Amino acid sequence: MPDTDAAGGIVQRGRYFDELEVGQRYLHRPGRTATEADNVLFSSVTMNTQALHLDAAYSATQPFGRRLMNSMWTLSTMVGASVTQLTQGTLVAQLGLSDVSFPAPLFHGDTLYVETEIVDMRLSASRPGQGIATLRHTGRNQDDVVVAVATRVALMWCRDAAPEGSA
């Protein structure tokens, strides 16, 4: 039965630790089309002045011939796309990111599609009622080319231990 609020409304949330299984694969939809505004704003806010993101004339002289999306935007958007399905209201803390790679570029106008596979799980030895899930996020463009991969370790609530109102 879905979680409901006091008025009987269904509460949207992610998955609790004990609702996940190793090998599950989640497709996060809709995709997100990357825009020039996304790239300029993200690069500016994060103080990343890399000309490959901001300078069209310079980028035209480089190997890809045009500006690249900031890879940190790609990583952030990839993780963010998973939140609603997996960790909204069920995450205690993000413990780490590893094995981050960007095997192909993402450009303005490309659409990023994300999937997540549950690759490992264990109950926390030091935090009763919580578990540690290892998630592998993969981002692909509209042509199904892998543009980003990252492994994320998340500390998550077990359903029976989650505080009231956490999800």
Q: Say how many domains are in the chain.
A: 1
State pLDDT tens for residues 114-139.
999 999 999 999 999 999 999 999 99
Burial class (CB in 10 A: 0-12, 13-18, 19+), 64: exposed
* Per-residue model confidence (pLDDT) at position 16: 96
**CA-closest candidate to residue 118, choices 21, 28, 19, 15:** 21
Query: Collapsing DSSP states into helix, strand and coil, what is residue 5?
Result: coil
Which token pair is 160? 């029976």
> Would residue 51 count as lying in a domain?
no
* Per-residue model confidence (pLDDT) at position 65: 97
> Would residue 41 count as lying in a domain?
no
> Would residue 104 count as lying in a domain?
yes
Neighbours of 56 (CB within 10 A): 11
Residues β-bridged to residue 156 = 91, 131
CATH number at residue 107: 3.10.129.10
> Would residue 40 count as lying in a domain?
no
* Per-residue model confidence (pLDDT) at position 160: 92
> Would residue 42 count as lying in a domain?
no
**CA-closest candidate to residue 14, choices 90, 94, 98:** 90
> Would residue 124 count as lying in a domain?
yes
- Among 9-18, 22-31, 68-77, 92-101, the minimum mean pLDDT is found in 9-18
* Per-residue model confidence (pLDDT) at position 1: 44
DSSP 8-state class, residue 18: G
* Per-residue model confidence (pLDDT) at position 158: 97
State pLDDT tens for residues 62-76.
999 999 999 999 999
* Per-residue model confidence (pLDDT) at position 9: 82
Which token pair is 106? 């993402």
Average pLDDT score over residue span 92-98 = 97
pLDDT at 164 over 80: no
Average pLDDT score over residue span 22-49 = 97
Indicate the pTM of the whole model: 0.92
Say what percent of the chain tops pLDDT 70.
97
Q: Write out the residue range of the structural domain in which residue 79 sits.
A: 3-35+69-161
